[in-house]
Every structure is written in structure tokens, then in C-alpha cells.
Amino acid sequence: MRINVINPNTSNSMTDTIAAAARSVASPGTQIIATNPSDGPASIESHFDEAVCSVALLEQVMAGEHAGMDAYVIACFGDPGLLAAREIARAPVLGIAEAAMHVASMIATRFSIVTTLDRTKIISRHLVRNYGMEHHCARIRATGIEVLELETNTDAVFRSILAECQQARDEDDIGAIVLGCGGMAHLVDELQQQLGLPVIDGVVAAVKLAEALVGLGLNTSKAGDLDYPSAKHYRGKFAHFSPPRR
């Protein structure tokens, strides 16, 4: 099967990090096609960033549908454009936040999320509510690290993330930690070793769930609100979203 792992920001190096994590857990016979748009924000850290990146993200999904992809992973913890992507895709589409929270809830009764900037805690809180995870999520913690700082891979960045995870372990009465950024995917093994409890990265969780859905022969439901959008004409820079003329 072919899984399109889409990093919605424009950082090629972060896409490489995400791709490496995805391939590390992919089953034999699963091909990971990691992509990112050339247009959009360098990092996604606000509601505005999410709105801007969603158009290019949807273009990637549309291209994937034409190429016959078997599943998609949106590799940003805000799960931007997730429902819109599901509307236009036959194949399953998974967001890494939704995947990580579900996996965490299966191995622990309570988990905490450790994310980047303080403002992104609010976005994560919205997702916790929307995904029905309020009973399982004990706390959302921020490290104060900008997304692109994760690419520096310095000891100081790792120590900041580790320190917040240690506080979560010691103070939040939890059994697992969810990492709140796809750019943290490469830190899982070392964090687990240091912390002594499960650490869930949404990229790898989403890849394995995608494989399971494809293996079960399940596609995105086209009953109700996830049916394909009604055909209509778009103007200007969005004219390419219009249906082809017959």
C-alpha cells in the first residue's frame, strides 16, 4: 500500500524527519510518500497558519487521489484541514493529533500532551474536546519552543522537552505522554528511555492506524457530511477547484 504522509508546512528538512519516523514503523510492502507544499507557512503555530496551509494541503490530497494513494496522514498536530481532506478523499485520512490521542487512551487511562508554544495549547484543547478525549487528557503543557527550533536538534531543545515531560510524569497522575508536534517524532525513543513511561508520537501512530484501516478494506464514508463536496465553480486563484467541463 502507499501512504501519503503530508507535512503541511514548507520545511523540507522537517518532512525528512517525519518521513524517517513513518518509515521506521511501516510494514514491509508499505510505501511512505512524504510530501510538503511549496506554498504556505514555514511552520504552523496559529489558527491563521492552519487556515493558510489548508488550501495547499488539500491540493496535495487531490493529487494523491489522482495518483491512487491508499491513505493519507496529515503530519501537523493541529490536524489542519482534516475534515475537508476527508470530504475529497476516498482513502482514509488521519490526523496525527487524533491518532495519538486514541492510541494513548488505549494504553493508559490518562495522558498529558507536551507541545510547543503556549498559544498552541488552546488549539490542542479544542482538539481534545472535539475528539471526546477530555476524560483522558489530564493536562496540556507547552515547552515554549518554536516549531522550527526542533530542527536545530540541540541539547537545549531536548532538555526543555524532557523537563516538561518529567513534570508531566511527576505531577499529572498520568500513564502516557503525547507529543504535540510532528517535528518531535525523532525524540520518542530517547524520551521513553529517560521517562520510563510510554511516549506517543502521532506520526507513527497514524501510519499504523492507516495500515490497519486499509487492511480492513475501509475507506472514508461518503454518507452524510463527508460526502464529496457539491460541484460548483470557483474563481480566480481557486479556479482549479472547479469541476471539469463536460
Domains contained in the chain, CATH given: 2-95+204-241 (3.40.50.12500), 97-202 (3.40.50.12500)
How far apart are alpha carbons 19 and 2 in whole angstroms?
13
Predicted confidence at residue 246, as pLDDT, reads 42
Q: Phi and psi at residue 232, in whole multiples of 5°?
A: -155, 165
Give the integer Cα–Cα distance in Å for 243 and 246.
Answer: 9
Candidates 131, 156, 152, 130; CA nearest to 143 is: 156
153: left (phi > 0), else alpha (psi -120 to 50), else beta?
left
Cell representation of residue 246: 463536460
d(C-alpha 160, C-alpha 235), whole Å = 47
| Residues 158, 51: Cα–Cα separation, whole Å | 29
Per-residue pLDDT at 244: 67
pTM above 0.85, yes or no: yes
- Return the bridge partners of 207, or none: none
* Cα–Cα dist 184/47, whole Å: 20
* Count of other CB atoms within 10 angstroms of residue 52: 17
* Residue 129: per-residue pLDDT: 98
**Average pLDDT per consecutive 10 residues, the chain (246 residues; last block may be shorter):** 97 95 97 97 96 96 97 97 97 98 98 96 96 98 93 87 97 98 93 97 98 98 95 90 69
